[in-house]
Amino acid sequence: MKKIITMTMVLLVLATGFLSASGQQPAADEGKKKFAIVFKNTGNPYGEKEMAGYKIAIEEMGYEVILKAPAQPTVDGQIAIIEELIAQRVDAIAMVANDVDALNMALAKAMKQGIKVLSLDSAVSAAGRLVHINQADPELIGRVQIQAIKEMINGEGQIAVLSATSQATNQNAWIEWMIEELKEPEYSKMELVKVAYGDDLRDKSVSEMEALLKNYPNLKGVIAPTTVGIAAAGLVIEEKGLKGQVHLTGLGLPSEMASYIESGICEWMYLWNPIDVGYLAGYAAMALVDGSITGAVGETFEAGRLGKKEIIADGNGTQIMLGAPFKFEASNIAEWKTVY
């Protein structure tokens, strides 16, 4: 008998310890709150990592997570998913947008029904969201890539951009800053000959890169501000034996780019932690749903392991900034290639 009582006590202590260790009581299964995230399209390892981060955050709090993406990176595909999520009566939708304005009607409908809407990574305009989760300052992301390619090609020659879709909010904002940076006198001997769009699809990005090389035989450098594009460009440069002749930088996943960085095809590139972008969006979504933030400038909330975060201004809207872009190069790629 004594043994049974002691055992029961041990189990009770363990159970209470477990609950308090997580810091929060998991929500009851019944009527569990539902948090959705919609990425640009399926089949993008960056998107999978971003969604994984969102999932970790939501599940840390014991809520239900719904991960969605259309097969192709289109507005129509995302609108169909938003409509489904409204019908499912989710509590929050976090959008990685395929267009800055075209989703707003569907998102306004969601917000009218009490669903908290935010964007991350690739924004919708202020009218379509309560807050945006920004991976890093767009100006910095844009300018740093031009500075990098300048150094690689010694400040002279033709360059091209291999982007994602022509409507992607994030890539378009970064390209605008690239064009601004190019106006500085130090770039007078460099010429941006083309912005090509591989639509974040592997095969299309490969063929767009091949077309760039064919149409601009004097091309010295390529900037791909998309993880799909930069990996495709690396592959083409390798296959055509153009290392050192055509330089490459941009935004890449260390796991996909390690071999090109190690071989010198891409001397260096930038990115942030996509898992953290998703994780931060998850905590922001929960703070919107529990009412601790509304999306207004100056509000703060606890973002799990990322600590306290503050909402700041972003043009007409508001945003939460993750941090600064990180430079990946031969000296540090080995330690990051297994992380993301």
* C-alpha atoms less than 13 angstroms from C-alpha of 91 in its C-beta half-sphere: 18
Residue 319 in contact with ligand RAM, rule: CB under 6 A: no
Smallest distance, ligand RAM to C-beta of residue 199, A: 10
Note whether 226 binds ligand RAM by CB under 6 A. Answer: yes
Residues 37 and 57: their CA atoms lie apart, in Å, by: 12
Tokens of 225: 């501000």
For residues 190 and 150, is the Cβ–Cβ distance under 8 A? Answer: yes
Contact track, ligand RAM, 237-276, x by CB under 6 A: --------------x-------------------------
119 scored as a contact of ligand RAM (CB under 6 A): no
Measured CA to CA, the distance from residue 39 to residue 26 in angstroms comes to 26
Site string for ligand RAM, 196-225 (x = CB under 6 A): ----x-------------------------
Q: Which of 79/253 has CB closer to ligand RAM?
A: 253
Q: Does 46 bind ligand RAM (CB under 6 A)?
A: yes
Q: Which residue is nearest to ligand RAM (CB)?
A: 46
Best CA proximity match to 130, nearest among 333, 321, 320: 320
Counting every residue written for the chain, the total comes to 340
Q: Is 145 in the site for ligand RAM (CB under 6 A)?
A: no
E strand or H helix at 275: helix 274-289
Shortest reach from residue 226's CB to ligand RAM, in Å: 4
Q: Are strands 219-224 and 157-163 parallel, antiparallel or unpaired?
A: parallel
Q: Contact with ligand RAM (CB under 6 A): which of 107, 136, 228, 235? A: 228
- The widest CA-to-CA distance across the chain, in whole angstroms, is 88
Comparison of 170 and 273: residue with beta carbon closer to ligand RAM = 170
Measured between alpha carbons, how far is 80 from 327 in angstroms, rounded to an integer? 37
Stretch that binds ligand RAM, among 1-9, 25-33, 83-91, 163-171 (CB under 6 A): 163-171
Contacts of 170 (CB under 8 A, 6+ apart): 121, 122, 123, 138
What count of other Cβ atoms lies within 10 Å of the Cβ of residue 158?
17
Q: Report how far residue 211's alpha carbon sits from residue 222's, in angstroms, rounded to the nearest whole number.
A: 12
Task: Report if residue 227 touches ligand RAM, rule: CB under 6 A.
Answer: yes
Residue 44 lies near ligand RAM (rule: CB under 6 A)? yes
| Torsions phi, psi for 30 (to 5 deg) | -70, 130
CB of 18 vs ligand RAM, minimal distance in Å: 36
- In the bound state with ligand RAM, the residue whose beta carbon lies nearer, of 33 and 68, is 68
78 belongs to the binding site for ligand RAM (CB under 6 A): no
Count of residues touching ligand RAM (by CB under 6 A): 13
State which residue, 91 or 199, has the beta carbon closest to ligand RAM: 199
Applying CB under 6 A, the span of 16-24, 40-48, 187-195, 311-319 interacting with ligand RAM comes to 40-48
Q: Shortest gap between Cβ of 200 and ligand RAM (angstroms)?
A: 5
Angle CA 272–278–279, to nearest 5: 100
R_g of the chain, CA atoms, integer Å: 22
- In Å, how far are 23, 256, 273, 308 from 93, measured between CA atoms? 25, 29, 21, 22
CA 176 to chain centre: 18
Contact with ligand RAM (CB under 6 A) among 74, 98, 119, 122: 122
Q: Is 170 in the site for ligand RAM (CB under 6 A)?
A: yes
CB of 295 to ligand RAM, least distance (A): 21
Residue 74 touching ligand RAM (CB under 6 A): no
Tokens of residue 299, six digits: 């509000």
Query: Site residues (CB under 6 A) for ligand RAM?
Result: 40, 44, 46, 121-122, 164, 168, 170, 200, 226-228, 251
